[in-house]
Structure 1
Amino acid sequence: MKRYFVTGLLIWVPLGITLWVISTLVGALDSLLLLLPDGNRPRDWIGVHIPGLGVVLVVAILLLTGLLTANILGQRMVRFWEEILNRIPVVKSIYGSVKQVSDTVLSDSGNAFRKALLVRFPHGDAWTVAFLTGTPAPELACQLDGEHVSVYVPTTPNPTSGYFMVVKKSATIELDMSVDEALKYVISMGVVAPGSKANGDAPCKQLSPNLPG
């Protein structure tokens, strides 16, 4: 009975959590429709509430915004809007910081989360998965000897919180796995091993035999 019960949990728990996350996300996006003026909401036109219209609205706005700002005129409008925001004292700091992070993480030309690394953390005898985020700022690099890199060490099972560290490049091991595989590995607390089904019997590949001790 215990084995059957656990097997049932393994089937329903992931499905239930998935449905709960999707339902919460759809509900949050549908709540944006309440910002529309009375009489102009989809429920006023149709007569009934249709779940998911908020998702369609957000996707349409994002696509339309991307389409309008992809040309020279749209880019000039964005720069003009950013100049206005940068003149507002408090908004300037918040908007500038968020934009730098979003440009780095979401841009195809950025270096953030492009590689999965193995670094020593939280002490010299332990290892953890980290993600390359770039190179240290000049103010930091000039204080350090040798080549260093900036890495982000996510926490488990919530990778949105973690630690930012500057470490020697020679003290890192570049892993032969994609960023998505590494994130799944971290979120699953090491249970879901990357490529474990495809090449579970493959010999271990030594990626950095000359790593300093």
Structure 2
Amino acid sequence: MRKTLMTRLRADFLAGLAVVMPVALSLAVVVWLFGTVANFTNTLLFFLPRSLTHAQGGEGPMFWHWQVVALLLAVALVIGVGRITRHYVGRRLIAWVDQVILSVPILNKIYSVIKQVNDAFSMGKKGAFQTVVLVEFPRPGLYAIGFITGEHETILDRAVGDRTVSVFIPTTPNPTSGFLLVAPESQVRPLRMSVADAVRFIVSVGSISPAGGMPAGGMLPSRPAEGDASVGTGPLPPP
């Protein structure tokens, strides 16, 4: 009985941690960014009227103005970084910053985990993952969640003798690495699950069960397997 209770508590703790950690990390980043920008604005006091310099210290009616300015500057900084990263020079600069951070012991571990999880969610939002599927892997009788990343009408189809699709099988808890399968579409089962739910299921090592609702793109027109309304069999829907 005690072992069962400890097992349940451990499962609940892991599930709660998977939910709390992203929120806590996001809040920590926002607080750090706000504080950094606010400290930077202190250097501008020399050029500002005396009423604002008093406001910075929490005195006078202009204090809230100073806080709003710091918040707006933080938002502008994030937008500016995003705009820079969309250009070649910005991407090279970000890559250099990544190398510098990854060369620092301890910090590199934390940074790499956060970046990998963020990249995984970004890939899903960009449409790199088209459909959540279930495939038999790594052997018959065992199943893994994967993502359709492409369909083929090439030499791969002719070699296999059937229509094939590319299926990415992510590892857990780091979903940015995994296995690429070229599978006959007849052996791939589409799931009525959103990409975000699937990524959460993988990152949480299965402790967060997928809701199984409708995917963002609507219902998959596939025939559900007998006794299971959330799993489809047969050919995949056209892209």
What's the TM-score, normalizing by structure 2? 0.48
1:44: which partner in 2?
Answer: 43
1:18: which partner in 2?
Answer: 23
Q: CA RMSD in A?
A: 4.7
> Any residues of structure 2 matched to 1:23-172 within 5 Å, and which?
23-24=28-29, 27=32, 41-45=40-44, 56-61=75-80, 65=83, 107=126, 110=127, 112-136=128-152, 138=154, 140-172=156-188
Q: 1:179 aligns with which of 187, 195, 206?
A: 195
How much has 1:133 moved relative to structure 2?
0.6
2:223: which partner in 1?
Answer: none
Contact 1:30/1:55 (8 A) holds in 2? no
Bigger mean CA offset, 182-191 vs 14-23? 14-23
Find the residue that maps to 2:232 and give its secondary structure.
coil
Distance (whole Å) between structure 1 residues aligned to residue 168 and residue 74 of structure 2? 31
Contact 2:33/2:74 (8 A) holds in 1? no
User: Any gaps of 5 or more consecutive residues in structure 2?
Assistant: 46-52, 57-66, 96-121, 214-226
How much has 1:168 moved relative to structure 2?
0.8
Distance (whole Å) between structure 1 residues aligned to residue 177 and residue 73 of structure 2? 28
2:110: which partner in 1?
Answer: none
How much has 1:61 moved relative to structure 2?
2.2
Find the residue that maps to 2:80 and give its secondary structure.
helix
Distance (whole Å) between structure 1 residues aligned to residue 14 and residue 163 of structure 2? 46
Contact 1:132/1:151 (8 A) holds in 2? yes
CA change 1:192–1:17 in 2 (3 A) is closer
| Structure number with higher helix proportion | 2
2:49: which partner in 1?
Answer: none
Q: Report the residue type matching 1:164 in the other structure.
A: L
How much has 1:141 moved relative to structure 2?
4.2
> Quick check: 1:204 aligned with 2:228?
yes
CA change 1:52–1:130 in 2 (3 A) is farther
How much has 1:9 moved relative to structure 2?
5.4
2:115: which partner in 1?
Answer: none
